Amino acid sequence: HPERYSVPKRKSILLAGVAFNLGLLAYFKYADFFLENLNLVLGVDFPMLNLILPLAISFFTFQQIAYLVDSYKTETREYDFLNYCLFVTFFPQLIAGPIVHHREMMPQFQRVRNAFINWSNVATGMFIFALGLFKKVAIADSFSVWANSGYAAADQLTFFSAWATSLSYTFQLYYDFSGYSDMAIGAALMFNIRLPINFNSPYKARNIQDFWRRWHITLSRWLRDYIYIPLGGSKRGNILTYRNVLATFLLGGLWHGAGWNFIIWGGLHGVALVIFQFWSRLRIALPGLMSWFLTFMFVNATWVFFRATTLDDAIYVLKGMVGISGVDVSPTLRPLVDNLDSMLGIGLAIDPAGFQLPWLALGYIFVFGAAAFFLPNGIQMIHFLPYGGRLGFRPRLLFAAFVGFSLFYSVVAAIQNAPSEFLYFNF
């Protein structure tokens, strides 16, 4: 019970606990990154440790730090060790989020009626789980084929193939993470536990701030509450606010992975948020469609740094996307592009051999891109409100058929295809 201790003693315990958690995370996740850069800067040759990253360490570390900080502030009221262990290791969200808060979970674990089967929750949870599983197996894993092949040959990409590669990964990550979020919510709901919504159609966002209110919502909340606000938030003038935003997103990028590409990705999003805040103060509104288009194009371009294994690969893909590496067209489209080039005098560097566009990939991008942009997400489909709200879902034959088909398809795909992990397992 933290209120029994003086503030200095509580602070000492807090600092020791946070240092211990961050120390473990730094050792397992960032030791090789540090050694690699140390070797590069000093010209030495320290051997890499090649440590295996403990399962879900990034996620449960953040949850434990949040609990420590709230305990220091005497905001926690649940101290049962068994429930605390359940809070940290609850399996539906352990691997890739959402990053849950103790005040969301502890009361649910204590609720007596949650110990009994609720068939409405089972049916709703099964539907959400099956929807997420279908997103992962049928959609995300299909996009992964084209994304992986494109990034494996990043130095050979030209205009259309670079765009097909970047968009394939953009939608692979979307449906992969959306699928996991749905599966986590669905699995937890079958145990009468309601997890917070972590994914809310982020590609519908009309500005970068809105994007981060929709993408990995619980991570954004954690960064805001435990980094941005402690740094001073927006209470100390515009310049310090911009500094706090940049620092928060640089750390958020580093949290995703031990590499400069993740730091650059986080920094770019931090800069974009600073520009958005500055632009908002000018009170100049862009048309909704233009605002959405600019936001999506920025997110798509920055995902290149997120996905590429090296900075050189990221530059190759981006150069291809802007046409520096030439324009590739299929033989059937070659006359059309030649005529357009001669009319406009652009001087396109067209690949003489031609390039057969992956038409199936383009079809997936068009169909499932439109679904991400225009259709309601799974939570909206069933009117799922996580805290005290009603569940509008009602079991229907159509839903039952979808659940059966999704589970059958997934089992067959698991037997026939190579094992496929969720992308956020890497973080």
What DSSP element (H or E) covers 92? helix 91-94
Q: How confident is residue 383, by pLDDT bands cut at 50, 70 and 90?
A: low
Higher pLDDT, 327 or 322: 322
Residue 385 has pLDDT above 70, yes or no: no
**Closest residue by Cα to residue 64 from 7, 24, 109, 6:** 24
pLDDT tens digit string along 53-103?
888 888 989 999 999 998 888 888 766 788 888 888 888 888 877 899 888
Average pLDDT over residues 336-355: 53
pLDDT tens digit string along 304-313?
999 999 999 9
pLDDT at 335: 61
Active site residue 256: yes
For 210-246, the DSSP string reads HHHTTSSHHHHHHHIIIIITTTTTTSS-HHHHHHHHH
pLDDT tens digit string along 103-125?
888 888 888 898 899 988 898 88
Residue 211 has pLDDT above 50, yes or no: yes
Q: Percentage of the chain surpassing pLDDT 70? A: 88
| Largest Cα span, the chain | 81
Please report where in the chains the tokens 């007596």 appear, as a residue.
Answer: 112
User: Whole-number mean pLDDT of the chain?
Assistant: 85
List the single range of 173-177, 197-201, 311-315, 379-383 with lowest mean pLDDT: 379-383
**Closest residue by Cα to residue 421 from 109, 161, 33, 56:** 56
What separation, in Å, do the N-terminal and C-terminal C-alpha atoms of the chain show? Answer: 33
| Cα gap 154→159, rounded to integer Å | 12
Average pLDDT over residues 164-181: 94
Average pLDDT over residues 319-344: 66
pLDDT tens digit string along 250-298?
999 999 988 899 999 999 999 999 999 999 888 888 888 999 999 999 9
Q: Which one of the listed residues 101, 102, 216, 256 is annotated catalytic? A: 256
| Cα gap 208→292, rounded to integer Å | 9
> Which residues, including other chains, have CB under 8 Å from residue 139's CB and lie 6 or more apart?
171, 175, 179, 364, 368
Residue 316 has pLDDT above 80, yes or no: yes
Residue 366, exposed/middle/buried by CB under 10 A (0-12, 13-18, 19+)?
A: exposed
Segment of 67-71, 137-141, 247-251, 411-415 carrying the highest mean pLDDT: 247-251
**DSSP category for residue 2:** G
Q: Percentage of the chain surpassing pLDDT 90? A: 42
Task: Specify the 3-state DSSP secondary structure of 89.
Answer: helix
| Cα gap 94→114, rounded to integer Å | 20
| Cα gap 29→262, rounded to integer Å | 13
